[in-house]
Amino acid sequence: MLKNRYYLLINQFLISLTVFFVGIEFALGQQAKPAGQEAKPVAPAPIEKFEIPKLEIIVPTNDDEGSSKKSSAKALNACKKFAKYFQKNSGIWATGPFSEVKCTASGSKSKVDVSSYQWVMKTERNSDDTAIFEIFFRRGSTMISQAKLELENSMPVVPLMQQSKLGREIAAYLSISLPMRSYITKADLKVGHSISSKVENIGSHLPPKNLTIFTATLKDDVWMTTVYGSMVLKEGSSKKATWQVSAISALPIENDVYLVQQTEDRTPLLEDLKNIIVDKNSSFFNKLFRVGRSAYIGFRYGIPLKAENSLITKSPSIGLLGEFRSGILKGFRFNYDMTPKSKLKTDAGVESYETSRLQLGYAFGKQLDWPVIHWVDLTPRLGITNIEYKNELYQSDGEETSTSASFTQRRAPTTALEIGAESRHQFFLARAWLSQTFSIGVVKLDKNFKTNTFKFGLDLYKDLIKLKSMRITGLGFYSFDKTTITNTQKEESDQVEIESLSLGVSYLGFGLTLSW
């Protein structure tokens, strides 16, 4: 009984507290409103409306073409050709969404009226050779993405714009992805009014049968549409299409321009169109066109610092290296390094050593957005190795004897695996790497031997000279190279047999690379 009374008291207290706060809120509200005057509703935040759509295209001027005035003019000329396909009565289905299109070189100050050109297209090809076309709606200083096309392993943006057929298809994909396919003026919005245009086929797709006429406003990054009518395809083929206004409702007085978009689902059309673009962009001829457009070659010269065998310190390391960064050979790397023949005379005899290696590999890399490491890659390699080591021994009277210890490998096949990481900064690039090389099987020449080579190093690259489309880069490096030779089958002989031999050496060196 006592317990129920406690519950009743608590409930009465909570009800009284609620009534008190409601009364306070009502009193404050009445105090804020002047006597005899009703509270006015708060006006909603302004939202953007479609004006006559205008587009600004920002085109890269250093897209594998250097940064000269000539390359800038070339990029802008290509952009102007590309821009036509976005204008009304142009493009594949002659239904371009924009009334005006202007081109601006990247890095230059835009000369367009941002209040009028609310649409912006940014184009680039990133370090992964991915060409990116992206259209944004500009709302103040904010850019809201509306359509995007990414083409992996692509040729540069400017050559894509220069190809008329491929350029039209790229423009069609972006236009169809936008909220509006085209626009129509209020004067043409009469039932029975027809609009005809020349068109091009997209695969097996014919022009859309039904079009929706609407207006749109942007609120909280979402387009809010109001439908005012529709159009029906009266005549459609791969060359010509005629749409007729079939229904129209009362139109707002303040609107002179209305937007048009196809009623049917656009997904199948966009998927087929992208496949067409990717196939053409990835064709053999386009890939062949890109071979050598981005690559580098260089040489290295290493001075031996410290070695397990003093014989090795008498011979430097000389190397050539190169990589393709575009086209069908993108990722292909080659390395050639050699140590010239060196001799060391001792009281016991004459020791000599020389080696050379040629390796071809393919790098699988990934861009990272880490604080220190910005790129990692894994490179499997195949190669050919030549090694010759001899140790001619003397008899006690100082004359040479036929007794010797030797090892020879000629054109021995090898396999290798290299792991690398890069840290990219404003004034230099640092690359750390390590690799392991193995003999493929046991190469039987005059003896049964196999070799393993372990290497690691740190390379520092610094740009020295920048030309129009080329760059000369200085290289400084430290590396450690250890080769182990093992006799897998010792034979009975009067000759001195090598059971195993370890040759390790550190190098400090320099070099130059030429990239384009």
Selected residue with higher pLDDT from 95 and 412: 412
Confidence of residue 223 (pLDDT cuts 50, 70, 90): confident
Per-residue pLDDT, averaged over 91-114, amounts to 79
Q: Give the residue carrying structure tokens 């007085």.
A: 253
HSE-CB for 289 with a 13 A CA cutoff: 15
Q: What is the pLDDT of residue 506?
A: 94
Which is it for strands 54-59 and 100-105: parallel, antiparallel or unpaired?
A: parallel
Q: Are 325 and 295 in contact (CB under 8 A)?
A: yes
Q: What is the pLDDT of residue 512?
A: 96
Q: What is the pLDDT of residue 444?
A: 43
First to last CA, the chain: 93
Q: What is the pLDDT of residue 43?
A: 33
Residue 22 has pLDDT above 80, yes or no: no
Per-residue pLDDT, averaged over 437-446, amounts to 63
pLDDT tens digits, one per residue of 358-375: 999 999 988 776 888 988
Q: Provide the β-strand partners of residue 419.
A: 378, 434
Lowest-pLDDT range of 20-29, 180-189, 397-406, 454-463:
20-29
Q: For all residues of the chain together, what is the average pLDDT? A: 79
Residue 46 has pLDDT above 50, yes or no: no
Spell out the residues 6+ positions from residue 450 whose beta carbon is closer than 8 angstroms to its own: 438, 439, 441, 442, 443, 485, 486, 488
Q: What is the pLDDT of residue 67?
A: 46
Confidence of residue 103 (pLDDT cuts 50, 70, 90): very high
Q: Closest Cα to residue 171, out of 64, 288, 239, 87?
A: 87
Q: Are 313 and 307 in contact (CB under 8 A)?
A: yes
Which H helix or E strand runs over 132?
Answer: strand 131-139
Q: Are 455 and 477 in contact (CB under 8 A)?
A: no
| Tokens describing residue 133 | 């076309």
A 10 A CB-CB count for 18 gives 10
Per-residue pLDDT, averaged over 442-448, amounts to 49
pLDDT tens digits, one per residue of 81-100: 999 989 887 776 666 889 89
HSE-CB for 400 with a 13 A CA cutoff: 7
Q: What is the pLDDT of residue 142?
A: 87
Per-residue pLDDT, averaged over 372-382, amounts to 93
Residue 284 has pLDDT above 80, yes or no: no
Per-residue pLDDT, averaged over 398-415, amounts to 71
Q: What is the pLDDT of residue 3?
A: 46
Confidence of residue 15 (pLDDT cuts 50, 70, 90): low
Confidence of residue 494 (pLDDT cuts 50, 70, 90): low
Q: What is the pLDDT of residue 65?
A: 44
| Percent of the chain topping pLDDT 90 | 28
Q: 455 to each of 3, 304, 416, 504, how far by Cα in Å? A: 83, 14, 11, 10
pLDDT tens digits, one per residue of 116-147: 788 999 999 887 778 999 999 988 888 999 99
Cα separation, 331 vs 381, whole angstroms: 12
| Tokens describing residue 308 | 């397990």
- 267-281 and 164-177 are packed helices; what angle lies between their axes, rounded to 10 degrees? 150
Rounded (5°) CA angle 44-48-50: 140
